[in-house]
Amino acid sequence: MSYEVRKQIDAMADELFTEGIEADRIGRLADGTAKRMKEAGSIRMLQPKEHGGFESHPREFAETVMRTAALNPSAGWIHGIVGVHPWQLAFADPRVQQEVWGEDQDTWMASPYMPAGMCIPVDGGYKFSGRWQFSSGTDHCGWAFLGAMACNADGSVEMPPRMLHVIIPRSDYEIVEDSWDVVGLRGTGSKDVVVQDAFVPDYRVMDCDEVIDGTAARNYGRTETLYLMPWSNMFPLGITSATIGICEGLVLHADEYQSARINPQGTAVKDDPYTLFAIGEAVADLRAARDTLLANVDRMWDLVDSGKTPTFEQRAAGRQTQVQAAWRAVNAIDRIYPRCGGNALRMDKPMQRFWRDAHAGLHHAIHVPGTVFHAASLSRLGVEPEGPLRAMI
């Protein structure tokens, strides 16, 4: 069934591309696109089979995200982010799984995980408040994973700090409609969301550390390789796949545009060896970015499938590879787009939208290289990274 999703995306290619233009204009995913993605089962690729999912291999998921993003960057981005949430819900409390998927297996979940909320313990659960930015695809989601800090009864943050992932229904949070006015990824509708004193029962709260180190999946009793994959390999996968796919989309449009273009010297681009060399080198880099990301997830899958638990050093190396793949892809299109001439800047040409959206993809926190590269290098030298160097790894 996994490859059937990709086939349906291909069959919808023209519509998805056109709706990507609409999404950029209205500042959120077009309603028609959300409907098509639900029909294709895009967001159910990593969902457990007992709740109507496909339990796809992560490589198949990544390849489908890339294809979607190459057609419609906003749809690909939402596929990559919203599409990972069913993977985590698969090892949440069965009661909340039933609440989310019991009546509609195509229910989508938003995020973000940044700990912008406060969870104060009360009888049976928590009193929960906060405001979060960057809730991608939130207009089409019925639930959300929201990050929070665990607090004491007096509202002070627990020491040492402990992060939580809170699962909350749409009825308990407000979407701030005018909060997404940006230069790139406009069509993702990544708006702010606000929660004010909502009650959250204990079973809808997950410990962040247990999610990241795999304890949550093991405690749930999951034995499938898919759900034993490290969070730091799975969560970034969709985001980086979308970024690479957007870059691939720019190349598709650049190739079409350049095929009939005459350069300022009066030479057809097809006969211009300088431009052809530069584009050829850049496309090879983009292809390498794609291949290394997919090989990275295959390598981690094989490790987990053999019954081994990835070490921190292995997880850090995986994150290092994933981050570098994103930067390599965007750097590649930065050598292609300027060689398309001044008319490629026009707003009626699709290349500018793909270029803007790809650069916006690099701004996601999961693509910040500093601490990831630092931690990976220390691990190789036999030093155990501490504190912030362990974040998101």
Per-residue tokens: 264: 């300022």
Mean pLDDT of the chain: 97
The conformational region for residue 115 under phi > 0 = left, psi -120 to 50 = alpha, else beta, is beta
End-to-end Cα, the chain, rounded Å: 31
Per-residue tokens: 97: 């799984």
Q: How far is CA 122 from the centre of its chain?
A: 33
Residue 375 predicted with pLDDT over 80? yes
Higher pLDDT, 28 or 391: 28
Banded pLDDT at 1 (limits 50, 70, 90) = low
Residue 314 predicted with pLDDT over 80? yes
10 Å CB burial of residue 220 (0-12, 13-18, 19+) is middle
Banded pLDDT at 3 (limits 50, 70, 90) = confident
Q: How far is CA 339 from the centre of its chain?
A: 29
Per-residue tokens: 188: 């993702």
Residue 304 predicted with pLDDT over 90? yes
Banded pLDDT at 265 (limits 50, 70, 90) = confident
pLDDT in tens, 172-200: 999 999 999 999 999 999 999 999 999 99
Distance in angstroms (rounded) separating the CA atoms of residues 393 and 376? 10
φ/ψ of residue 209, rounded to 5: -60, -40
Per-residue tokens: 53: 């999912």
Q: Which fold has domain 229-390?
A: Butyryl-CoA Dehydrogenase, subunit A; domain 3 (1.20.140)
Count CA within 13 A, CB hemisphere, residue 282.
24
Give CATH superfamily name and number for 109-208.
Butyryl-CoA Dehydrogenase, subunit A, domain 2 (2.40.110.10)
Per-residue tokens: 175: 């979407």
The torsion angle over the Cα atoms of residues 132, 135, 139 and 144, rounded to 10 degrees, is: -80
Q: What percent of the chain has pLDDT over 90?
A: 98
Distance in angstroms (rounded) separating the CA atoms of residues 79 and 43? 6
Average pLDDT over residues 368-391: 96
pLDDT in tens, 74-129: 999 999 999 999 999 999 999 999 999 999 999 999 999 999 999 999 999 999 99
Taking a C-beta distance cutoff of 8 angstroms, is the pair 107, 53 a contact? no
Alpha-carbon dihedral sign for residues 205, 224, 376, 360: negative
For 2-101, give the CATH class.
mainly alpha
Q: Where are the domains of the chain?
A: 2-101, 109-208, 229-390
Average pLDDT over residues 6-11: 96
Taking a C-beta distance cutoff of 8 angstroms, is the pair 119, 148 a contact? yes
Tokens 């930065």 correspond to: 334
Alpha-carbon dihedral sign for residues 225, 391, 100, 6: negative
Residue 53 predicted with pLDDT over 80? yes
Average pLDDT over residues 38-52: 97
The pLDDT assigned to 147 comes to: 98
Residue 162 predicted with pLDDT over 90? yes
Letter for the amino acid at 227? Y
SS (H, E, C) the chain: CHHHHHHHHHHCHHHHHHHHHHHHHHCCCCHHHHHHHHHHCHHHCCCCHHHCCCCCCHHHHHHHHHHHHHHCHHHHHHHHHHCCHHHHHCCCCHHHHHHHHCCCCCCCEECCCCCCEEEEEECCEEEEEEEEEEECCHHHCCEEEEEEEEECCCCCECCCCCEEEEEEEHHHCEEECCCCCCCCCHHHCCEEEEEEEEEEEHHHEEEHHHHHCCHHHHHHCCCCHHHHCCHHHHHHHHHHHHHHHHHHHHHHHHHHHHCCCECCCCCEHHHCHHHHHHHHHHHHHHHHHHHHHHHHHHHHHHHHHCCCCCCHHHHHHHHHHHHHHHHHHHHHHHHHHHHHCHHHHCCCCCHHHHHHHHHHHHCCHHHCCHHHHHHHHHHHCCCCCCHHHHCCC
